[in-house]
Amino acid sequence: MPIASVNPATGETLETFEALDDAAIELCLSRAESAFRQYRTTDFEQRAALVHRAADLLEADQEAVARTMTEEMGKPLAAARAEAAKCVKALRWYADQAPALLADELPRREDVADAGASDAYVRYRPIGAVLAVMPWNFPFWQVIRFAAPALMAGNVCLLKHASNVPRTAVALEDLFRRAGFPEGCFQTLLIGSAAVEGVIRDRRVAAVTLTGSEPAGRAVAATAADEVKKAVLELGGSDPFVVMPSADLAAAVATAVRARVQNNGQSCIAAKRFIVHEEVYEPFLTAFTEAMRALKVGDPMAEDTEVGPLASEQGRTDLEELVEDARAHGAGVECGGRRPPGLDPALAAGWFYEPTVLSGITPRMRVHLEETFGPVATVYRVADLDEAVERANDSPFGLSSNVWTTDGAEQQRFVRDIEAGGVFFNGMTASHPALPFGGVKRSGFGRELSGHGIKEFCNITTVWIGPPAS
């Protein structure tokens, strides 16, 4: 079945690709096995030179790469440029930092004095081919943040990208090929979801990492567990954005808007649930609603567009159903809640949805527990700190969180009690190469980025050297 690249702003099919058949998949796996046997013996200096070359090429190609992303999944062009630049930064960071992150660990001699060794240390060794099952929402960044550490650790990469971004997937393989990586070190597998299980089960695949939906994560994790293979999962998120009375309200509102509509609202770490102390609830809701209503929705290629289309028609349908369910159960629609009128006729077939603010949310509404993957915000009123913490944790997800307070005691309470992989105070959740990224509960397990991320796919090896012969 062909894999199609469709422009979500117009509904136009840009290009189609034939999915790999069994013979082509076998060839890719064979190349990966052969490449790993050689690439694993390279040193950090050799790997870093290749990764730096990839960074230089990506930096030079930033505009073309950004346009490819925008055409395939609809993010505003300015955001796509920023994504490409972030990828360059991550490539260079891992090229420079990997030697220190994976340096041999030497225990204190007194701690191993009774181990009977003349020397002992820990070495981080590569494990083989790592399969990455990646999403469409940050189609370059999600891949680079896996590939840069994996390649610097001496592993080789197999990419099964989301089926709606095949042009981006091909461009990623081309980037690493042009950078000079040996054949087979980074390969894109243009395959459907049904073929993923077979790749995971293949003996030549050592581990798998997935960023995506909870159902996809369950399927991948089950297969990996059945094969006793390492898996790292970064799944959904319904991040809380808590606003307490001491917050700088103007800054909180401005950040709340960016945090909700980044990437057209299609981000696992986008703030989705706005939990506001009753002392500042009314002014926050008024200002937030006005700012969301004022956002410009339109052609993602236009420089002044702030919110583009949803990446798929099904994604918009899912969002509409959540909003309509909330409306039917009594939620207040402060703004939005519909397909935007008055768009350019050329965009009539695009999958656009207005920035939307919902209030009066109750547990009867699906939106209370389900993730809104689009520009829809839910706003809650809470009476005090205890209720704010309780509401923040009232979610099956635990990816990250945002808290606006200048009270040190409140900050420590949130650090202690919020169930999430990150707590960001007086700012917006963001991923950074130097900081670990991942979640708890149904947001997955394992970590990407930082030293924690590069070690996920290493063989943590104890080296013990006996006493010299007498």
Strand partners, 234: 211, 444
Our answer to whether residue 234 is catalytic in this structure is yes
Helix (H) or strand (E) segment spanning residue 16: strand 13-17
Token pair 């002392």 is found at 279
Choice among 87, 157, 185, 268 that is catalytic? 268
Q: Buried b vs exposed e over 259-282: b needs ≥16 C-beta within 10 Å? A: bbbbbbbbbbbbbbbbbbbeebbe
**In whole angstroms, what is the distance from residue 429 CA to residue 144 CA?**
19
* Whether 146 contacts 132, CB under 8 Å: yes
User: Tell me, what DSSP letter sits at residue 175?
Assistant: H
**In whole angstroms, what is the distance from residue 341 CA to residue 337 CA?**
12
CA atoms 101, 59, 164, 431: torsion sign: positive
Quickly count: other Cβ atoms within 10 Å of residue 180's Cβ: 12
Pairing of strands 119-126, 458-465: antiparallel
Coil, strand or helix at 355: coil
**In whole angstroms, what is the distance from residue 261 CA to residue 271 CA?**
9
Closest C-alpha among 148, 168, 173, 145 to residue 158 = 173
Token pair 């943040």 is found at 145
**In whole angstroms, what is the distance from residue 62 CA to residue 78 CA?**
11
Tell me the residue type at 388: A
Closest C-alpha among 365, 359, 412 to residue 389 = 412
* Whether 286 contacts 243, CB under 8 Å: no
Helix (H) or strand (E) segment spanning residue 233: strand 230-234
- Residue 387 Rama label (left phi>0; alpha psi -120 to 50; beta): alpha
The two tokens of residue 199 are 């790749």
Choice among 71, 72, 173, 234 that is catalytic? 234
**In whole angstroms, what is the distance from residue 48 CA to residue 179 CA?**
11
Catalytic residues: 234, 268
